[in-house]
Amino acid sequence: MKTLTMSLACSVAFLVFAVLPAEGSLLGWYRFGDDDSGPVDGSDINTTANSSGSFGDMDFNSAHPVYSTEVPGALIYDPIGAATVANAWSLHVEGDDNRERVRVSEPLPSSFTYEVFVRFDDADAANEVFFGDHYRGSADGGWRLKRLPDGTIEAYLRDDPNENEVTVDSVTKIAANGQWHHVALVFDGNAADDTNDTRLYIDYNEDAAGNFPDTGTFASTNNGVFFYGGSSDAGNYDEQERVDEARYFNEVLDSESFLHVVPEPGTMLLALLSLVGLTSRRRWRT
């Protein structure tokens, strides 16, 4: 019953989001195989294409992540482009520093949005940095998203030249049980000081927020590089995770603009029947 209820909720949400207009300036959309040449399940990812935007393609860091056919959904809906794309590949991390990186010459914009689907498979793994450009203790400012041992998703931003930083910890815990989740980090550099300009979304809900001091002074990326995939922040080398459909925008977006998995046809039909049933009951009661 719980699974059915969640499926119906996702289906209804998709029906709503599919008709909503959205805006956004896309800098990078990394699909980890779907736009690459000849991916093979379990083979090394040497480079992965930027499907849209001004950023370049990604290449591997010190070790290769690999292609995986396990994905959050076979079809992904993009509200901004009002388009549905097929999805057959994801990036699989197994061990420390299995990550793809992109080098960018331009600084981080004053406002930005990052989104990604992520899945954790190893319950023993901890402090998994899966998205970002920053190691805590680095000499450069930056940002990153990581999963803590208890399942908390931590967003961390630091601007070393100005010694500003903020840490936002999710209320929702993400278990390492092989289930896909959508995570997004939104930074509003145009917000007034002392406001929650840093927001963390878990599965399309605004889960936590924090204030970055002296809004608007956030520095560029760490040496012009940021990455998707595994990196350890605490000497842990047993990471097991997958990431997919990662996007980067130079402005603030809300959850209506995030990518969504298109429900299976049977689940969509159940959602439609549910809506019809609710409407019929309301009419009967009146």
pTM: 0.80
What's the chain's average pLDDT? Answer: 74
Q: Tell me the CATH number at 248.
A: 2.60.120.200
Write the Ramachandran bin of 82: left for phi over 0, alpha for psi from -120 to 50, otherwise beta. left
For residues 145-170, average pLDDT: 84
At 101, is the pLDDT very low, low, confident or very high (cuts 50, 70, 90)? low
> Exposed, middle or buried: residue 260 (CB in 10 Å: 0-12, 13-18, 19+)?
buried
Evaluate whether residue 137 is within a structural domain: yes
Range of the domain at 116: 23-260
What's the total number of domains in the chain?
1
At 51, is the pLDDT very low, low, confident or very high (cuts 50, 70, 90)? confident
Q: What integer pLDDT is reported at residue 9 of this predicted model?
A: 42
Evaluate whether residue 99 is within a structural domain: yes
At 179, is the pLDDT very low, low, confident or very high (cuts 50, 70, 90)? very high
Assign 105 to helix, strand or coil: coil
Evaluate whether residue 11 is within a structural domain: no
The most confident of the ranges 55-59, 139-143, 249-253 is 249-253
The DSSP secondary-structure symbol of 264 reads P
Evaluate whether residue 286 is within a structural domain: no
Evaluate whether residue 267 is within a structural domain: no
Query: 239 is written with which tokens?
Result: 């990471």
pLDDT in tens, 67-79: 999 999 999 999 9
Residue for token pair 């997919």: 244
For residues 99-115, average pLDDT: 71
Assign 73 to helix, strand or coil: coil
CB count, 10 Å around CB of 66?
Answer: 18
Higher pLDDT, 264 or 36: 36
Evaluate whether residue 202 is within a structural domain: yes
Evaluate whether residue 65 is within a structural domain: yes
Evaluate whether residue 8 is within a structural domain: no
